[in-house]
A and B are shown apart, each in its own frame.
Chain A
Amino acid sequence: MDSISQRVAGVSRERSRAPGRGTAPPGDRLLAAALGLLAGIALIALVFPSVLVVISSFNASDFLTFPPQGWSLRWYTVMAGNWEVRASALLSLKVAVLVVLIDLLLGVPAAFPLTRTRFRGREAVMTFILSPLMLPGLVIGIGLLFFYMLMGFALSFPLLVVSHVVVTMPFIVSMTSARLAVLDPAYEEAALSLGASQVQKFVHVVLPQLWPGIAAGAAFAFLLSFDNFTVSLFTASDRLRPLPIVLFYLLRYDINPLVGAVSSLEIVLALLVLLVGSRLLGLARVTQLGRRMT
Protein backbone atom coordinates (compact mmCIF):
# COMPACT_ATOMS: atom_id res chain seq x y z
CA MET A 1 0.00 0.00 0.00
CA ASP A 2 2.92 2.33 0.42
CA SER A 3 4.60 2.33 -2.94
CA ILE A 4 4.01 5.32 -5.15
CA SER A 5 2.94 3.20 -8.09
CA GLN A 6 0.20 1.72 -5.97
CA ARG A 7 -0.94 5.15 -4.86
CA VAL A 8 -1.13 6.27 -8.45
CA ALA A 9 -2.99 3.10 -9.32
CA GLY A 10 -5.29 3.94 -6.41
CA VAL A 11 -6.15 7.29 -7.93
CA SER A 12 -6.84 5.79 -11.31
CA ARG A 13 -8.98 3.10 -9.73
CA GLU A 14 -10.91 5.60 -7.70
CA ARG A 15 -13.93 5.63 -10.01
CA SER A 16 -14.22 1.88 -9.94
CA ARG A 17 -14.34 1.78 -6.16
CA ALA A 18 -18.04 2.12 -5.82
CA PRO A 19 -19.44 -0.88 -3.95
CA GLY A 20 -20.43 -3.91 -5.94
CA ARG A 21 -18.12 -3.36 -8.93
CA GLY A 22 -16.19 -6.36 -10.14
CA THR A 23 -12.68 -4.92 -9.81
CA ALA A 24 -13.00 -3.87 -6.17
CA PRO A 25 -10.70 -5.45 -3.56
CA PRO A 26 -12.17 -8.37 -1.56
CA GLY A 27 -12.51 -6.23 1.57
CA ASP A 28 -14.63 -3.73 -0.33
CA ARG A 29 -16.85 -6.42 -1.76
CA LEU A 30 -17.32 -8.01 1.67
CA LEU A 31 -18.25 -4.67 3.24
CA ALA A 32 -20.62 -3.82 0.38
CA ALA A 33 -22.30 -7.20 0.75
CA ALA A 34 -22.63 -6.83 4.53
CA LEU A 35 -24.00 -3.28 4.33
CA GLY A 36 -26.34 -4.23 1.50
CA LEU A 37 -27.66 -7.23 3.40
CA LEU A 38 -28.25 -5.28 6.62
CA ALA A 39 -29.88 -2.37 4.78
CA GLY A 40 -32.05 -4.81 2.82
CA ILE A 41 -33.25 -6.54 5.98
CA ALA A 42 -33.90 -3.19 7.64
CA LEU A 43 -35.91 -1.82 4.71
CA ILE A 44 -38.00 -4.97 4.43
CA ALA A 45 -38.55 -4.96 8.19
CA LEU A 46 -39.66 -1.31 8.04
CA VAL A 47 -42.42 -1.96 5.53
CA PHE A 48 -43.31 -5.62 5.90
CA PRO A 49 -45.38 -5.47 9.12
CA SER A 50 -47.63 -2.74 7.72
CA VAL A 51 -48.08 -4.58 4.41
CA LEU A 52 -48.93 -7.71 6.35
CA VAL A 53 -51.49 -5.87 8.45
CA VAL A 54 -53.27 -4.72 5.29
CA ILE A 55 -53.16 -8.23 3.75
CA SER A 56 -54.42 -9.82 6.94
CA SER A 57 -57.36 -7.42 7.10
CA PHE A 58 -58.83 -9.18 4.04
CA ASN A 59 -58.48 -12.58 5.70
CA ALA A 60 -61.68 -14.64 5.66
CA SER A 61 -61.08 -16.95 8.61
CA ASP A 62 -61.52 -16.45 12.34
CA PHE A 63 -57.83 -16.72 13.05
CA LEU A 64 -54.97 -15.02 11.30
CA THR A 65 -53.24 -17.86 9.53
CA PHE A 66 -50.70 -17.87 6.74
CA PRO A 67 -51.34 -18.28 3.94
CA PRO A 68 -54.85 -16.85 4.50
CA GLN A 69 -57.63 -19.38 3.96
CA GLY A 70 -59.58 -17.09 1.67
CA TRP A 71 -60.38 -13.47 1.10
CA SER A 72 -63.27 -11.37 2.28
CA LEU A 73 -64.29 -7.99 3.60
CA ARG A 74 -65.90 -9.55 6.66
CA TRP A 75 -63.57 -7.85 9.14
CA TYR A 76 -64.45 -4.47 7.66
CA THR A 77 -68.11 -5.35 8.15
CA VAL A 78 -67.38 -6.46 11.70
CA MET A 79 -65.49 -3.20 12.30
CA ALA A 80 -68.33 -1.06 10.94
CA GLY A 81 -70.77 -2.92 13.18
CA ASN A 82 -68.60 -2.72 16.29
CA TRP A 83 -70.07 -0.07 18.54
CA GLU A 84 -66.93 0.34 20.65
CA VAL A 85 -64.63 0.88 17.69
CA ARG A 86 -67.04 3.32 16.06
CA ALA A 87 -67.53 5.36 19.21
CA SER A 88 -63.80 5.50 19.94
CA ALA A 89 -62.92 6.50 16.37
CA LEU A 90 -65.47 9.30 16.53
CA LEU A 91 -64.10 10.39 19.91
CA SER A 92 -60.52 10.42 18.61
CA LEU A 93 -61.64 12.44 15.62
CA LYS A 94 -63.44 15.02 17.76
CA VAL A 95 -60.50 15.29 20.14
CA ALA A 96 -57.99 15.67 17.31
CA VAL A 97 -59.97 18.42 15.56
CA LEU A 98 -60.38 20.44 18.76
CA VAL A 99 -56.74 19.87 19.69
CA VAL A 100 -55.56 21.22 16.34
CA LEU A 101 -57.74 24.33 16.70
CA ILE A 102 -56.39 25.08 20.18
CA ASP A 103 -52.84 24.27 19.02
CA LEU A 104 -53.16 26.84 16.23
CA LEU A 105 -54.60 29.51 18.52
CA LEU A 106 -51.80 29.03 21.05
CA GLY A 107 -48.91 27.98 18.84
CA VAL A 108 -48.96 30.32 15.86
CA PRO A 109 -48.95 33.56 17.92
CA ALA A 110 -46.15 32.13 20.09
CA ALA A 111 -43.95 31.58 17.04
CA PHE A 112 -43.75 35.33 16.27
CA PRO A 113 -41.99 36.67 19.37
CA LEU A 114 -39.81 33.56 19.44
CA THR A 115 -38.49 34.12 15.92
CA ARG A 116 -38.89 37.85 15.36
CA THR A 117 -37.75 39.46 18.59
CA ARG A 118 -34.62 39.12 20.64
CA PHE A 119 -35.21 38.97 24.34
CA ARG A 120 -33.41 37.61 27.31
CA GLY A 121 -34.17 33.94 27.90
CA ARG A 122 -35.60 33.42 24.42
CA GLU A 123 -33.63 30.20 24.02
CA ALA A 124 -34.88 28.93 27.37
CA VAL A 125 -38.50 29.72 26.47
CA MET A 126 -38.11 27.91 23.14
CA THR A 127 -36.59 24.86 24.85
CA PHE A 128 -39.43 24.87 27.37
CA ILE A 129 -42.11 25.08 24.67
CA LEU A 130 -40.49 22.28 22.66
CA SER A 131 -39.76 20.11 25.70
CA PRO A 132 -42.94 17.95 25.39
CA LEU A 133 -41.43 16.59 22.17
CA MET A 134 -38.47 15.24 24.12
CA LEU A 135 -40.17 14.10 27.31
CA PRO A 136 -41.55 10.57 27.60
CA GLY A 137 -45.32 10.63 27.02
CA LEU A 138 -45.72 8.27 29.94
CA VAL A 139 -44.30 10.81 32.39
CA ILE A 140 -46.42 13.66 30.98
CA GLY A 141 -49.54 11.48 31.16
CA ILE A 142 -48.97 10.50 34.79
CA GLY A 143 -48.15 14.08 35.78
CA LEU A 144 -51.39 15.29 34.20
CA LEU A 145 -53.39 12.52 35.91
CA PHE A 146 -51.95 13.50 39.31
CA PHE A 147 -52.64 17.15 38.59
CA TYR A 148 -56.30 16.52 37.67
CA MET A 149 -56.83 14.26 40.66
CA LEU A 150 -55.31 16.75 43.06
CA MET A 151 -57.50 19.51 41.65
CA GLY A 152 -60.50 17.25 42.12
CA PHE A 153 -61.34 17.09 38.40
CA ALA A 154 -62.96 13.94 37.08
CA LEU A 155 -61.40 12.69 33.83
CA SER A 156 -63.52 13.99 30.97
CA PHE A 157 -63.57 14.92 27.31
CA PRO A 158 -62.27 18.50 27.84
CA LEU A 159 -59.39 17.23 29.97
CA LEU A 160 -58.42 14.76 27.25
CA VAL A 161 -58.27 17.64 24.76
CA VAL A 162 -56.27 19.77 27.21
CA SER A 163 -53.82 16.90 27.70
CA HIS A 164 -53.30 16.30 23.99
CA VAL A 165 -52.63 19.99 23.40
CA VAL A 166 -49.60 19.75 25.71
CA VAL A 167 -47.88 17.17 23.50
CA THR A 168 -48.97 18.47 20.07
CA MET A 169 -48.74 22.27 20.35
CA PRO A 170 -44.91 22.28 20.24
CA PHE A 171 -45.19 20.96 16.69
CA ILE A 172 -47.14 23.96 15.51
CA VAL A 173 -44.69 26.32 17.24
CA SER A 174 -41.64 24.58 15.79
CA MET A 175 -43.04 24.38 12.25
CA THR A 176 -44.37 27.92 12.19
CA SER A 177 -41.09 29.26 13.59
CA ALA A 178 -39.07 27.35 11.03
CA ARG A 179 -41.15 28.84 8.23
CA LEU A 180 -41.13 32.30 9.78
CA ALA A 181 -37.36 32.30 10.13
CA VAL A 182 -36.86 32.03 6.37
CA LEU A 183 -39.48 34.67 5.57
CA ASP A 184 -38.09 37.88 4.11
CA PRO A 185 -39.25 40.86 6.26
CA ALA A 186 -38.83 43.14 3.23
CA TYR A 187 -42.26 42.07 1.93
CA GLU A 188 -43.88 43.15 5.17
CA GLU A 189 -42.03 46.46 5.19
CA ALA A 190 -43.12 47.03 1.62
CA ALA A 191 -46.75 46.30 2.54
CA LEU A 192 -46.61 48.71 5.47
CA SER A 193 -44.97 51.46 3.45
CA LEU A 194 -47.67 51.05 0.80
CA GLY A 195 -50.21 51.85 3.50
CA ALA A 196 -51.38 48.41 4.63
CA SER A 197 -52.59 48.09 8.21
CA GLN A 198 -51.06 45.53 10.55
CA VAL A 199 -54.08 43.27 10.05
CA GLN A 200 -53.94 43.62 6.27
CA LYS A 201 -50.22 42.92 6.34
CA PHE A 202 -50.77 39.76 8.36
CA VAL A 203 -53.68 38.48 6.25
CA HIS A 204 -52.34 39.39 2.81
CA VAL A 205 -48.56 39.11 3.21
CA VAL A 206 -47.53 36.98 6.19
CA LEU A 207 -50.24 34.31 6.17
CA PRO A 208 -49.96 33.34 2.48
CA GLN A 209 -46.23 32.73 2.94
CA LEU A 210 -46.62 31.07 6.30
CA TRP A 211 -49.50 28.75 5.60
CA PRO A 212 -47.59 25.69 4.28
CA GLY A 213 -45.75 25.50 7.61
CA ILE A 214 -48.93 26.01 9.59
CA ALA A 215 -50.94 23.52 7.52
CA ALA A 216 -48.27 20.83 7.66
CA GLY A 217 -47.91 21.41 11.41
CA ALA A 218 -51.68 21.08 11.77
CA ALA A 219 -51.68 17.82 9.78
CA PHE A 220 -48.98 16.33 11.97
CA ALA A 221 -50.58 17.61 15.16
CA PHE A 222 -53.85 16.01 14.06
CA LEU A 223 -52.12 12.68 13.50
CA LEU A 224 -50.20 12.93 16.78
CA SER A 225 -53.42 13.49 18.68
CA PHE A 226 -55.41 10.88 16.75
CA ASP A 227 -52.66 8.29 17.33
CA ASN A 228 -51.69 9.35 20.81
CA PHE A 229 -51.44 6.44 23.17
CA THR A 230 -49.42 7.09 26.31
CA VAL A 231 -50.98 10.39 27.33
CA SER A 232 -54.48 9.02 26.68
CA LEU A 233 -53.65 5.91 28.68
CA PHE A 234 -53.60 8.00 31.85
CA THR A 235 -55.88 10.92 31.01
CA ALA A 236 -58.80 9.15 29.28
CA SER A 237 -61.52 7.76 31.52
CA ASP A 238 -62.86 4.23 31.11
CA ARG A 239 -66.02 5.51 29.48
CA LEU A 240 -64.16 7.77 27.02
CA ARG A 241 -61.62 5.59 25.30
CA PRO A 242 -59.87 6.96 22.21
CA LEU A 243 -59.20 4.57 19.32
CA PRO A 244 -55.57 3.63 20.12
CA ILE A 245 -56.57 2.67 23.66
CA VAL A 246 -59.43 0.50 22.39
CA LEU A 247 -57.07 -1.20 19.91
CA PHE A 248 -54.60 -1.78 22.72
CA TYR A 249 -57.17 -3.52 24.91
CA LEU A 250 -58.38 -5.60 21.96
CA LEU A 251 -54.81 -6.85 21.57
CA ARG A 252 -53.77 -7.02 25.21
CA TYR A 253 -54.05 -10.76 25.67
CA ASP A 254 -54.83 -12.06 22.21
CA ILE A 255 -54.49 -11.38 18.51
CA ASN A 256 -57.79 -10.03 17.26
CA PRO A 257 -58.35 -9.99 13.47
CA LEU A 258 -60.81 -7.11 13.85
CA VAL A 259 -57.82 -4.91 14.64
CA GLY A 260 -56.44 -5.60 11.16
CA ALA A 261 -59.26 -3.73 9.47
CA VAL A 262 -58.96 -0.71 11.78
CA SER A 263 -55.17 -0.77 11.45
CA SER A 264 -55.35 -0.72 7.66
CA LEU A 265 -57.36 2.48 7.83
CA GLU A 266 -54.80 3.92 10.27
CA ILE A 267 -52.01 3.09 7.83
CA VAL A 268 -53.89 4.85 5.03
CA LEU A 269 -54.29 7.88 7.31
CA ALA A 270 -50.53 7.94 8.05
CA LEU A 271 -49.70 7.79 4.34
CA LEU A 272 -52.19 10.57 3.68
CA VAL A 273 -50.56 12.84 6.26
CA LEU A 274 -47.13 12.01 4.87
CA LEU A 275 -48.39 12.95 1.41
CA VAL A 276 -49.89 16.22 2.64
CA GLY A 277 -46.74 17.04 4.60
CA SER A 278 -44.40 16.36 1.72
CA ARG A 279 -46.62 18.28 -0.72
CA LEU A 280 -46.55 21.33 1.54
CA LEU A 281 -42.96 21.22 2.70
CA GLY A 282 -41.05 18.67 0.65
CA LEU A 283 -40.00 15.28 2.01
CA ALA A 284 -36.67 16.55 3.29
CA ARG A 285 -38.37 19.02 5.64
CA VAL A 286 -40.71 16.31 6.86
CA THR A 287 -37.59 14.45 7.97
CA GLN A 288 -36.73 17.29 10.31
CA LEU A 289 -40.11 16.82 11.97
CA GLY A 290 -39.80 13.09 12.12
CA ARG A 291 -36.72 13.40 14.21
CA ARG A 292 -38.71 15.20 16.85
CA MET A 293 -41.61 12.81 16.89
CA THR A 294 -41.43 10.72 20.02
Chain B
Amino acid sequence: MPAVGYLVVFLAVPLLLLFAFGLVDIRDGRLVPGSWTLEHYARVLGDPFYYRIFVRTFWMGFGATVLCLIFGYPVAYLFTRVGTAARQVLLVLILAPLLTNAVVRTFGWMIILGGPKGLLNAVLLRLGLVEEPLKILYTMSGVLIGMTQIQLPFMILPIIAALEGQDRSLHEAAAGLGATWAQTFFHVVVPLSLPGVLSGSALVFVISYTSFVIPALLGGGSFGVIPTFIFEQISALVQWNSGAVLASLLMGTAIVMLLLFNRASARLLRWTR
Protein backbone atom coordinates (compact mmCIF):
# COMPACT_ATOMS: atom_id res chain seq x y z
CA MET B 1 0.00 0.00 0.00
CA PRO B 2 1.39 3.41 -0.97
CA ALA B 3 -0.10 4.92 2.21
CA VAL B 4 2.00 2.60 4.37
CA GLY B 5 5.13 3.37 2.38
CA TYR B 6 4.45 7.08 2.72
CA LEU B 7 4.09 6.86 6.48
CA VAL B 8 7.17 4.68 6.83
CA VAL B 9 9.27 7.36 5.10
CA PHE B 10 7.62 10.45 6.59
CA LEU B 11 6.57 9.17 10.02
CA ALA B 12 8.51 6.12 11.17
CA VAL B 13 11.92 7.29 9.89
CA PRO B 14 11.53 10.83 11.32
CA LEU B 15 10.46 9.45 14.72
CA LEU B 16 13.43 7.08 14.80
CA LEU B 17 15.67 10.00 13.85
CA LEU B 18 14.21 12.03 16.67
CA PHE B 19 15.24 9.36 19.16
CA ALA B 20 18.59 8.84 17.46
CA PHE B 21 19.43 12.56 17.51
CA GLY B 22 19.50 12.44 21.29
CA LEU B 23 22.20 9.77 21.15
CA VAL B 24 24.71 11.19 18.66
CA ASP B 25 26.66 14.40 18.24
CA ILE B 26 25.40 16.89 15.69
CA ARG B 27 27.58 19.70 14.44
CA ASP B 28 26.44 22.32 11.93
CA GLY B 29 23.35 20.33 11.06
CA ARG B 30 25.44 17.23 10.25
CA LEU B 31 25.70 13.99 12.15
CA VAL B 32 29.18 13.26 13.45
CA PRO B 33 29.67 9.62 12.35
CA GLY B 34 30.28 7.05 15.05
CA SER B 35 29.68 9.47 17.88
CA TRP B 36 27.13 7.46 19.89
CA THR B 37 26.91 8.95 23.33
CA LEU B 38 24.65 9.15 26.36
CA GLU B 39 26.18 12.49 27.23
CA HIS B 40 23.18 14.53 26.05
CA TYR B 41 20.79 12.48 28.15
CA ALA B 42 23.13 12.78 31.13
CA ARG B 43 23.30 16.55 30.68
CA VAL B 44 19.51 16.99 30.56
CA LEU B 45 18.71 14.44 33.27
CA GLY B 46 21.39 15.80 35.58
CA ASP B 47 20.09 19.36 35.32
CA PRO B 48 17.72 20.25 38.20
CA PHE B 49 16.35 23.06 36.02
CA TYR B 50 14.88 20.63 33.47
CA TYR B 51 13.63 18.46 36.28
CA ARG B 52 11.63 21.41 37.63
CA ILE B 53 10.23 22.16 34.18
CA PHE B 54 9.20 18.52 33.73
CA VAL B 55 7.43 18.61 37.09
CA ARG B 56 5.66 21.84 36.12
CA THR B 57 4.61 20.34 32.77
CA PHE B 58 3.29 17.28 34.57
CA TRP B 59 1.25 19.40 36.99
CA MET B 60 -0.12 21.42 34.10
CA GLY B 61 -1.33 18.22 32.43
CA PHE B 62 -2.60 16.78 35.69
CA GLY B 63 -4.42 19.99 36.68
CA ALA B 64 -6.09 20.30 33.30
CA THR B 65 -7.18 16.64 33.50
CA VAL B 66 -8.76 17.04 36.94
CA LEU B 67 -10.51 20.29 35.95
CA CYS B 68 -11.77 18.76 32.70
CA LEU B 69 -13.17 15.85 34.67
CA ILE B 70 -14.93 18.10 37.20
CA PHE B 71 -16.55 20.24 34.51
CA GLY B 72 -16.82 17.64 31.74
CA TYR B 73 -18.57 14.84 33.60
CA PRO B 74 -21.71 16.89 34.39
CA VAL B 75 -21.98 17.93 30.73
CA ALA B 76 -21.69 14.31 29.58
CA TYR B 77 -24.29 13.24 32.15
CA LEU B 78 -26.61 16.05 31.13
CA PHE B 79 -26.29 14.89 27.52
CA THR B 80 -27.63 11.44 28.39
CA ARG B 81 -30.63 12.87 30.26
CA VAL B 82 -32.06 15.24 27.66
CA GLY B 83 -34.16 14.79 24.52
CA THR B 84 -33.02 14.56 20.91
CA ALA B 85 -33.28 18.26 20.10
CA ALA B 86 -31.32 19.30 23.19
CA ARG B 87 -28.72 16.65 22.34
CA GLN B 88 -28.15 18.18 18.92
CA VAL B 89 -27.61 21.58 20.52
CA LEU B 90 -25.24 20.13 23.10
CA LEU B 91 -23.28 18.27 20.43
CA VAL B 92 -22.82 21.44 18.41
CA LEU B 93 -21.67 23.26 21.56
CA ILE B 94 -19.17 20.48 22.27
CA LEU B 95 -17.94 19.92 18.72
CA ALA B 96 -17.71 23.51 17.45
CA PRO B 97 -14.83 24.44 19.79
CA LEU B 98 -13.09 21.19 18.90
CA LEU B 99 -13.00 22.21 15.25
CA THR B 100 -11.92 25.78 15.91
CA ASN B 101 -8.27 26.65 15.46
CA ALA B 102 -6.35 26.33 18.74
CA VAL B 103 -4.72 29.74 18.28
CA VAL B 104 -8.14 31.32 17.85
CA ARG B 105 -9.54 29.75 21.00
CA THR B 106 -6.48 30.74 22.97
CA PHE B 107 -6.96 34.28 21.67
CA GLY B 108 -10.48 34.24 23.14
CA TRP B 109 -8.99 33.53 26.55
CA MET B 110 -6.40 36.26 26.10
CA ILE B 111 -9.25 38.75 25.65
CA ILE B 112 -11.03 37.45 28.76
CA LEU B 113 -8.04 37.15 31.07
CA GLY B 114 -5.81 39.77 29.53
CA GLY B 115 -4.42 42.68 31.44
CA PRO B 116 -6.11 45.27 33.64
CA LYS B 117 -8.53 46.11 30.82
CA GLY B 118 -9.51 42.51 30.13
CA LEU B 119 -13.11 41.43 30.42
CA LEU B 120 -12.69 39.47 33.64
CA ASN B 121 -10.96 42.30 35.46
CA ALA B 122 -13.43 44.85 34.12
CA VAL B 123 -16.32 42.81 35.51
CA LEU B 124 -14.63 42.06 38.85
CA LEU B 125 -13.69 45.72 39.35
CA ARG B 126 -17.15 46.97 38.47
CA LEU B 127 -18.78 44.52 40.87
CA GLY B 128 -16.34 45.61 43.53
CA LEU B 129 -15.15 42.03 44.07
CA VAL B 130 -11.49 43.03 43.80
CA GLU B 131 -9.65 46.22 44.68
CA GLU B 132 -7.15 46.07 41.87
CA PRO B 133 -6.91 44.05 38.64
CA LEU B 134 -5.98 40.40 39.10
CA LYS B 135 -2.99 39.06 37.25
CA ILE B 136 -4.18 35.85 35.62
CA LEU B 137 -2.89 36.05 32.06
CA TYR B 138 0.73 34.90 31.93
CA THR B 139 0.37 32.74 35.07
CA MET B 140 -0.23 29.03 35.69
CA SER B 141 -3.88 29.78 36.58
CA GLY B 142 -4.40 31.43 33.21
CA VAL B 143 -2.81 28.49 31.40
CA LEU B 144 -4.97 26.01 33.33
CA ILE B 145 -8.19 27.92 32.67
CA GLY B 146 -7.54 28.08 28.92
CA MET B 147 -6.22 24.53 28.76
CA THR B 148 -9.27 23.13 30.57
CA GLN B 149 -11.73 24.79 28.22
CA ILE B 150 -9.80 23.79 25.13
CA GLN B 151 -9.42 20.12 26.12
CA LEU B 152 -12.94 19.78 27.58
CA PRO B 153 -14.46 18.07 24.49
CA PHE B 154 -11.81 15.33 24.67
CA MET B 155 -13.05 14.51 28.16
CA ILE B 156 -16.78 14.87 27.44
CA LEU B 157 -16.98 12.68 24.34
CA PRO B 158 -15.54 9.41 25.79
CA ILE B 159 -17.63 9.83 28.94
CA ILE B 160 -20.77 10.28 26.82
CA ALA B 161 -19.86 7.05 25.01
CA ALA B 162 -19.44 5.23 28.36
CA LEU B 163 -22.69 6.60 29.80
CA GLU B 164 -24.63 5.78 26.63
CA GLY B 165 -23.38 2.20 26.82
CA GLN B 166 -24.88 1.70 30.26
CA ASP B 167 -27.88 -0.53 30.71
CA ARG B 168 -30.66 1.75 31.95
CA SER B 169 -32.39 -1.12 33.70
CA LEU B 170 -29.54 -1.09 36.24
CA HIS B 171 -30.52 2.44 37.24
CA GLU B 172 -34.14 1.38 37.53
CA ALA B 173 -33.12 -1.64 39.59
CA ALA B 174 -31.21 0.60 41.99
CA ALA B 175 -34.18 2.93 42.28
CA GLY B 176 -36.48 -0.06 42.76
CA LEU B 177 -34.31 -1.20 45.64
CA GLY B 178 -34.86 2.14 47.33
CA ALA B 179 -31.75 4.03 46.28
CA THR B 180 -32.18 7.75 45.92
CA TRP B 181 -31.19 9.34 42.65
CA ALA B 182 -27.95 10.60 44.23
CA GLN B 183 -27.16 7.10 45.54
CA THR B 184 -27.78 5.59 42.13
CA PHE B 185 -25.55 8.24 40.59
CA PHE B 186 -22.60 7.60 42.90
CA HIS B 187 -22.94 3.83 43.28
CA VAL B 188 -24.09 2.78 39.80
CA VAL B 189 -23.73 5.49 37.14
CA VAL B 190 -20.27 6.79 38.06
CA PRO B 191 -18.54 3.44 38.73
CA LEU B 192 -19.85 2.01 35.45
CA SER B 193 -18.62 5.04 33.52
CA LEU B 194 -15.06 4.81 34.85
CA PRO B 195 -13.61 3.26 31.65
CA GLY B 196 -14.83 6.34 29.75
CA VAL B 197 -13.45 8.61 32.45
CA LEU B 198 -10.07 6.90 32.16
CA SER B 199 -9.88 7.12 28.38
CA GLY B 200 -10.96 10.76 28.49
CA SER B 201 -8.40 11.49 31.18
CA ALA B 202 -5.63 9.75 29.25
CA LEU B 203 -6.48 11.81 26.17
CA VAL B 204 -6.67 15.13 28.03
CA PHE B 205 -3.49 14.44 29.97
CA VAL B 206 -1.37 13.54 26.97
CA ILE B 207 -2.69 16.41 24.82
CA SER B 208 -2.20 18.95 27.62
CA TYR B 209 1.19 17.55 28.59
CA THR B 210 2.48 17.94 25.04
CA SER B 211 0.59 21.13 24.18
CA PHE B 212 2.57 24.07 22.88
CA VAL B 213 0.19 26.88 21.81
CA ILE B 214 -1.71 27.33 25.07
CA PRO B 215 1.24 27.60 27.47
CA ALA B 216 3.18 29.68 24.93
CA LEU B 217 0.39 32.26 24.56
CA LEU B 218 -1.40 32.17 27.93
CA GLY B 219 1.78 31.54 29.89
CA GLY B 220 3.77 34.29 28.26
CA GLY B 221 7.53 34.45 27.82
CA SER B 222 8.49 33.49 31.35
CA PHE B 223 6.23 30.45 31.71
CA GLY B 224 8.26 27.53 30.44
CA VAL B 225 7.01 24.00 29.97
CA ILE B 226 8.83 21.21 28.16
CA PRO B 227 7.13 21.79 24.77
CA THR B 228 8.01 25.51 24.79
CA PHE B 229 11.58 24.68 25.83
CA ILE B 230 11.89 22.15 23.03
CA PHE B 231 10.80 24.80 20.54
CA GLU B 232 13.29 27.27 21.97
CA GLN B 233 16.14 24.75 21.89
CA ILE B 234 15.47 23.74 18.31
CA SER B 235 14.34 26.96 16.63
CA ALA B 236 16.12 29.75 18.47
CA LEU B 237 19.21 28.07 19.88
CA VAL B 238 19.62 25.32 17.24
CA GLN B 239 20.50 22.89 20.04
CA TRP B 240 19.29 19.81 18.22
CA ASN B 241 20.73 17.35 20.69
CA SER B 242 19.00 18.87 23.71
CA GLY B 243 15.82 19.33 21.70
CA ALA B 244 15.86 15.70 20.63
CA VAL B 245 16.53 14.49 24.19
CA LEU B 246 13.71 16.64 25.61
CA ALA B 247 11.27 15.57 22.90
CA SER B 248 12.17 11.89 23.40
CA LEU B 249 11.73 12.23 27.15
CA LEU B 250 8.41 14.05 26.68
CA MET B 251 7.20 11.34 24.34
CA GLY B 252 8.56 8.56 26.58
CA THR B 253 6.90 9.89 29.72
CA ALA B 254 3.64 10.44 27.83
CA ILE B 255 3.73 6.81 26.67
CA VAL B 256 4.41 5.63 30.23
CA MET B 257 1.39 7.62 31.43
CA LEU B 258 -0.75 6.13 28.65
CA LEU B 259 0.34 2.62 29.65
CA LEU B 260 -0.56 3.36 33.28
CA PHE B 261 -4.01 4.58 32.20
CA ASN B 262 -4.41 1.45 30.06
CA ARG B 263 -3.47 -0.80 32.95
CA ALA B 264 -5.90 0.95 35.26
CA SER B 265 -8.54 0.54 32.59
CA ALA B 266 -7.83 -3.17 32.18
CA ARG B 267 -7.94 -3.67 35.97
CA LEU B 268 -11.24 -1.90 36.08
CA LEU B 269 -12.72 -4.05 33.34
CA ARG B 270 -11.69 -7.23 35.09
CA TRP B 271 -13.07 -5.85 38.32
CA THR B 272 -16.49 -4.92 36.93
CA ARG B 273 -17.00 -8.25 35.23
Interface residues of A (CB under 8 A from B): 1, 6-7, 10-11, 14, 17-19, 24-25, 27-28, 30-32, 34-36, 38-39, 41-43, 45-50, 52-53, 56, 63-66, 106-107, 109-110, 113, 125, 128-129, 131-132, 135-140, 142-147, 149-150, 162-163, 165-166, 169, 173, 223, 227, 229-230, 233-234, 244, 247-248, 251-253, 255, 259-260, 263, 266-267, 270-271, 273-274, 283-284, 286-287, 290-291, 293-294
**Which B residues touch A147, using CB under 8 A?**
10, 13-14, 17
Q: Are B4 and A42 in contact (CB under 8 A)?
A: no
Contacts A28-B181, A66-B122, A251-B217 hold; do A140 and B96 have CB atoms under 8 A apart?
no
CA distance A2 to B184 in the complex (A): 16
Quick one: CB contact mask for B87-125 with A, threshold 8 Å, 1 for yes?
Answer: 010111111111111111111111110110111001100
Choose from A110, A142, A144 the contact partner of B243 (Cβ within 8 Å). Answer: A142
Choose from A30, A143, A173, A229 the contact partner of B15 (Cβ within 8 Å). Answer: A143
Q: Are A66 and B17 in contact (CB under 8 A)?
A: no
Min CB–CB distance B255 → chain A (angstroms): 10
**Which A residues touch B99, using CB under 8 A?**
223, 270-271, 273-274, 290, 293
Contacts A28-B180, A66-B119, A252-B216 hold; do A42 and B175 have CB atoms under 8 A apart?
no
Choose from B117, B176, B254 the contact partner of A63 (Cβ within 8 Å). Answer: B117
Q: Tell me which residues from 179 to 203 in chain B have a Cβ below 8 Å from any Cβ of chain A.
A: 179-183, 185, 203
Contacts A146-B17, A146-B21, A287-B95 hold; do A165 and B10 have CB atoms under 8 A apart?
yes
- 21 residue pairs bridging A and B, Cβ less than 8 Å apart: A10-B178, A18-B81, A38-B70, A38-B75, A45-B71, A47-B97, A52-B119, A109-B2, A125-B4, A138-B227, A138-B230, A143-B11, A143-B15, A166-B11, A229-B103, A230-B213, A259-B107, A266-B100, A271-B96, A286-B91, A287-B157
A66-B118, A136-B210 known; 18 new pairs, CB 8 Å cut-off, are A6-B178, A25-B182, A39-B75, A47-B93, A49-B111, A50-B96, A52-B111, A65-B117, A144-B10, A150-B31, A247-B103, A247-B107, A267-B104, A274-B95, A283-B88, A290-B157, A291-B161, A294-B203
CA distance A294 to B179 in the complex (A): 40
**Which B residues touch A260, using CB under 8 A?**
107, 111
CA distance A164 to B43 in the complex (A): 33
**Which A residues touch B235, using CB under 8 A?**
233-234
Q: Are A227 and B102 in contact (CB under 8 A)?
A: yes
Min CB–CB distance A277 → chain B (angstroms): 8
CA distance A142 to B154 in the complex (A): 24
**Which A residues touch B12, using CB under 8 A?**
128
**Which B residues touch A132, using CB under 8 A?**
7, 11
Whether B78 sits at the interface, judged by CB under 8 Å, is yes
Residue of B nearest to A29 (CB): B182
CA distance A36 to B82 in the complex (A): 13
Whether B77 sits at the interface, judged by CB under 8 Å, is yes
Residue of A nearest to B3 (CB): A110
Q: Tell me which residues from 17 to 67 in chain B have a Cβ below 8 Å from any Cβ of chain A.
A: 17-18, 21, 29, 31
